[in-house]
């Protein structure tokens, strides 16, 4: 017989003998088994509770069985707690016992003092608003025409009824404003406000309205004095101003000087000269960049104006 074949035969024979001996030699050792909760109705949930994932046991079995458990990942069994018939809204308490262990090992003793305390809830649904999260800053050459908004602007949250409340709001994955270069929808995932609540909608469209920024100067914009009935005669010097405004470039290109309004009020002022700053009214999305001059003289006369005879 070939020498190598003989060596292989001897090795296999020794392994078989060891397995036979190991299968007959009994040992008591510690093992760890998973804890499984069963029988919970589909309309109920244990979300928000903590319980041990494993249980430590002392058990008796063959040396071969413990060898397979240790080196080959064989499961020694499991601890099973049946939750059938459990009522929602009631704290479920129970101590884990040796009788909850399902295993082929013998002389099982639970070594860990495991006391289950579980709040069982009904699974409920609540519609909440979606708040758009942002990060970064918009490039200087762009401006937002309106805050980013989600569409749809609400989502349904599903989870334990005790966690759902009217003040909850869902969020979105952040929109990076530094990468915005125009208007359009951006898909963003929903971020749940609580780890035990799940959004029925995975993502929403975030609508971003941004426009290129422009600037424009309007010359000789008249100042309009505001007077109440019967008030003293009022004049403004100088009567016109130069106004520079910024805003969406496309909007600015269509504006006329009449879209810019400058007013000064004489309310509460005594007769004489007063230095005042006008109130500037601009179209939507526009802002004042500069005003020349910045201040004006408001002259309040000594008496009310009279209508001239025809």
Domain that holds residue 269: 213-300
CATH of the domain at 106: 2.170.120.30
Task: Report d(CA 125, CA 200) in Å as an integer.
Answer: 9
Is 13 within a domain?
no
Q: Does 43 lie in the same domain as 100?
A: yes
Mean pLDDT of 222-234: 78
Task: Report d(CA 277, CA 298) in Å as an integer.
Answer: 9
Does position 100 have pLDDT exceeding 80, yes or no?
yes
Task: Report d(CA 177, CA 215) in Å as an integer.
Answer: 22
* Closest by Cα among 286, 290, 280 to 254: 286
Is 228 within a domain?
yes
Q: Does 218 lie in the same domain as 179?
A: no
* Closest by Cα among 32, 111, 109 to 78: 32
Q: Does 130 lie in the same domain as 47?
A: no
- φ and ψ at 93, to 5 degrees? -125, 140
**How many domains, the chain?**
3
Task: List, for residues 49-82, the tens digit of each pLDDT value.
Answer: 899 999 999 988 887 777 778 787 788 889 999 9
Does position 304 have pLDDT exceeding 60, yes or no?
no
CATH of the domain at 140: 2.170.120.40
pTM of the entire structure? 0.68
| Residue that finishes a domain, picked among 212, 247, 262 | 212
Give the pLDDT score at 213. 95
Q: Does 73 lie in the same domain as 160?
A: no
With bands split at pLDDT 50, 70 and 90, how would you rate the model's confidence at 192? very high
């Amino acid at each position: 017989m070939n020498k190598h074949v003989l060596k292989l035969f001897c090795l296999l024979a020794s392994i078989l003998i060891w397995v036979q001996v190991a299968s007959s030699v009994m040992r008591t050792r510690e093992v760890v088994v998973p804890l499984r909760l069963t029988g919970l109705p589909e309309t109920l949930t244990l979300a928000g509770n903590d319980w041990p994932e494993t249980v430590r046991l002392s058990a008796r079995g063959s040396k071969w069985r413990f060898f397979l458990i240790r080196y080959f990942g064989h499961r020694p069994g499991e601890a099973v707690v049946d939750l059938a018939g459990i009522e929602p809204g009631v704290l479920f308490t129970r101590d884990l016992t040796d009788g909850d262990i399902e295993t082929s090992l013998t002389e099982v003793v639970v070594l860990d003092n495991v006391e289950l305390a579980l709040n069982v809830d009904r699974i409920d649904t609540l519609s909440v608003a979606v708040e758009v999260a942002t990060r970064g800053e918009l490039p200087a050459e762009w401006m937002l025409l309106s805050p980013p908004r989600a569409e749809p602007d609400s989502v349904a949250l599903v989870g334990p009824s005790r966690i759902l409340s009217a003040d909850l709001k869902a969020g979105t994955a952040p929109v990076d404003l530094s990468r915005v270069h125009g208007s359009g929808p951006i898909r963003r995932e929903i971020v749940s406000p609580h780890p035990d609540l799940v959004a029925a909608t995975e993502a929403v469209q975030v609508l971003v309205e941004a426009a290129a920024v422009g600037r424009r100067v309007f010359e000789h914009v008249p100042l309009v004095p505001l007077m109440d009935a019967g008030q003293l005669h009022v004049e403004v010097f100088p009567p016109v101003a130069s106004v520079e405004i910024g805003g969406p470039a496309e909007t600015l290109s269509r504006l006329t000087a009449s879209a810019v309004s400058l007013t000064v009020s004489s309310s509460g002022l005594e007769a004489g000269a007063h230095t005042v700053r006008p109130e500037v009214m601009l179209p939507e999305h526009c802002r004042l960049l500069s005003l020349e001059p910045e201040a004006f003289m408001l002259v309040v006369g000594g008496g009310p104006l009279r209508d001239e005879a025809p």
